[in-house]
Amino acid sequence: MKPARFQYVAPRTVEEAIGVLTRYGDGCKLLAGGQSLGPLLNLRLATPDVLVDLERIDELAAPPSRVDSVLRIPAMTRQRSLELSPIVRTHVPLLSDALPFVAHRTIRNRGTIGGSLAHADPSAELPAVALACGAAIVIQGPTGQRRVSAEAFFQGYFTTALYPDEVVVAVEFPAAVARQGSSWVEFAPRRGDFAIVGAAAVVQLSPHGTVASCRLAYSGVSDRPWRDETSESRLVGEYPSPQVFDRIADSFAERCEPIGDLSGSAVYRKGLVRHLTAAVLASACRQATEDQ
Amino acid sequence: MKPETMKPEARVDIELEVNGATRTVRDVDPRMTAADLIREVLRLKGTRVGCEHGVCGACTILVDGVSTRSCITYAAQLNGRSVLTVEGLSLMAGELHPLQEAFMRHHGLQCGFCTAGMLLTSYELLSEAHEVSPTEIRDVLSGNLCRCTGYQGIVDAVVDADQNWER
């Protein structure tokens, strides 16, 4: 349970970090909060030559800021501080609601938003939340910055659009608007464990009270956070009701193709998708209605 | 002109504060865990190492006042930081810390292996909040495993300390 030997460097700026990545290439691993990477290092599932510690880069830990209709959260912002942040609660309530489900408080003290997204565990909460919100991941490399949508960022198990010489520097969430509701629900066998399946919903109601648009994203049903636009479109134009939620839940459950493993078979996960979809829609629509 | 690329180091020197005292440690292998640094180099054996991959919470310490698992934190990360271990709790209080007294009164431990982690996690909780409900205590301590007590004594101890620790 001791990591293999590595060299260590703690750059002070993003440019310095990219310089190290460019010079030492594939052998580098970026260390953010270390709550997923630490176990991987100790179990020697990850054996980097160079560990690049991002903790000393002040610009990656600046407070979240609102720019026009976007809340920009620097990548090294700790999950615990986001959980307590009033500006996050106001503009991205889904994030505030989902964060208490991320592992345990001690883990969230260190764990970061950028680290969680870059790690891209398909069972984790934050990738699904980013997808449901339509967040953009801001990435910096040797030639400058680029923005990648959550859809394009997550590419498979622990696999993202990030190149080896790039760093996630921030995540940009669209700020919530009027008549919007959102919710996170999950089923985990024990508090703080990875959920078997989790579901996020962002629902936008029209002035008449029908669903104008919605985005749902799931953890634990695919090799990446999963969305199904066909099922989403079936909710559009409907008045929220338990009957409608059940019908949409059936659609998501039918159309998902979960992979079974020791923590839950494929059939069981489909059942969870059905149950959680109805629950998350009810809760998100209730919020949207109250937000009239 | 482009700045020179920073050079990764195979050995590091670190300076940190441990339980109020400044300590300098030279020539450390950066892969050494914070737990091993505390136990094997600084010889503070109160911090226990259980699972060694961030699951059990036994090795919890406070870094800059924030609870942290020392088995998945590396020595190099502690450079310039302030660390509190279980030894620091009793130093602070003179004898036993009120939390430790409460754990004793309520049989919040049997073998004691999880206790340092339980104490520091509870210390962080009670430093931030007063009149904490048993539900919140259980939520916060859910990241710390105990195989002896069944947790009831631990929760009772934290409730008690919440009332009796002047802070």
- CB A55 to CB B67 under 8 A? no
Same domain, yes or no, for A169 and A185? Answer: no
Last residue of a domain, one of A151, A174, A197: A174
* Residue B9 CA neighbour count, 13 Å, CB half: 14
Look at residue A193 and tell me if it is in a domain.
yes
Query: What's the confidence (pLDDT) of residue B1?
Result: 47
Range B46-64 average pLDDT: 97
Residue A129 lies in a domain: yes
Mean pLDDT, rounded, for B96-118: 97
Same domain, A278 and A189: yes
Torsion sign over Cα A64, A67, A68, A71: negative
Mutate to test the interface with B, among A106, A108, A193, A194 (most CBs of B within 10 A): A106
- A23 with A102, same domain: the answer is no
For residues A67 and A46, state if they share a domain.
no
Residue A200 and residue A283 in one domain: yes
Mean pLDDT for chain A overall? 97
Which CATH number do you get for residue A196?
Answer: 3.30.390.50
Euclidean distance between the first and the last CA atom of chain A, given in angstroms as a whole number? 54
Structural domains of chain B, ranges and CATH numbers in brackets:
12-88 (3.10.20.30), 94-164 (1.10.150.120)
Do A94 and A191 meet the contact criterion of CB atoms below 8 Å apart? no
- Segment A160-207, tens digit of pLDDT: 999 999 999 999 999 999 999 999 999 999 888 999 999 999 999 999
Residues A221 and A184 in one domain: yes
In a shared domain, residues A202 and A216 = yes
pLDDT of residue A59: 96
pLDDT of residue B5: 82
Q: What's the total number of domains in chain A? A: 3
Within-domain flag for A1: no
DSSP secondary structure letters along chain A: --PPP-EEE--SSHHHHHHHHHHHGGGEEEESS-TTHHHHHHTTS---SEEEE-TT-GGGGPPPEEETTEEEEETT-BHHHHHT-HHHHHH-HHHHHHGGGSS-HHHHHH-BHHHHHHHT-TT-HHHHHHHHHT-EEEEEETTEEEEEEHHHHEEETTEES--TT-EEEEEEEEPP-TTEEEEEEEE-SSTTSPPSEEEEEEEEE-TTSSEEEEEEEEESSSSS-B--HHHHHHHTTPPP-HHHHHHHHHHHHHH-----BTTB-HHHHHHHHHHHHHHHHHHHHHHHHHT-
Closest CA to B121 of B96, B94, B146: B146
Query: For each of chain A's 292 residues, which pLDDT tens digit applies?
Result: 899 999 999 999 999 999 999 999 899 999 999 999 999 999 999 999 999 999 999 999 999 999 999 999 999 999 999 999 999 999 999 999 999 999 999 999 999 999 999 999 999 999 999 999 999 999 999 999 999 999 999 999 999 999 999 999 999 999 999 999 999 999 999 888 999 999 999 999 999 999 999 999 999 999 999 999 999 999 999 999 999 999 999 999 999 999 999 889 999 999 999 999 999 999 999 999 987 6
Residues A133, A230, single domain; the answer is: no
Does A100 share its domain with A125?
yes
Q: For B58, name the nearest residue in chain A, comparing CA atoms only.
A: A106
- pLDDT of residue B3 exceeding 80, the answer is no
| Residues in chain B closer than 8 A to A3 (CB atoms) | 31, 74
Which of A114, A144, A174 is the last residue in one of the domains?
A: A174
Residue A278 in any domain: the answer is yes
| End-to-end alpha carbon distance in chain B | 54
Both A19 and A98 in one domain: the answer is no
Give the CATH number for residue A97: 3.30.465.10
Partner A contacted by B121 (CB < 8 A): yes
In a domain, A58, yes or no: no
Determine whether the interchain pair A20/B29 forms a contact, defined as Cβ–Cβ distance below 8 Å: no
Q: Are residues A170 and A184 in the same domain?
A: no
Name chain A contacts of B139, Cβ cutoff 8 Å: 105, 191
A11: domain CATH number is 3.30.43.10
Q: What is the pTM of this model?
A: 0.96
**pLDDT at residue B59 is higher than 50:** yes
Residue A57 placed within a domain: no
Q: Which domain-ending residue is among A144, A174, A204?
A: A174
Domain of A244 in residue numbering reads as 180-290
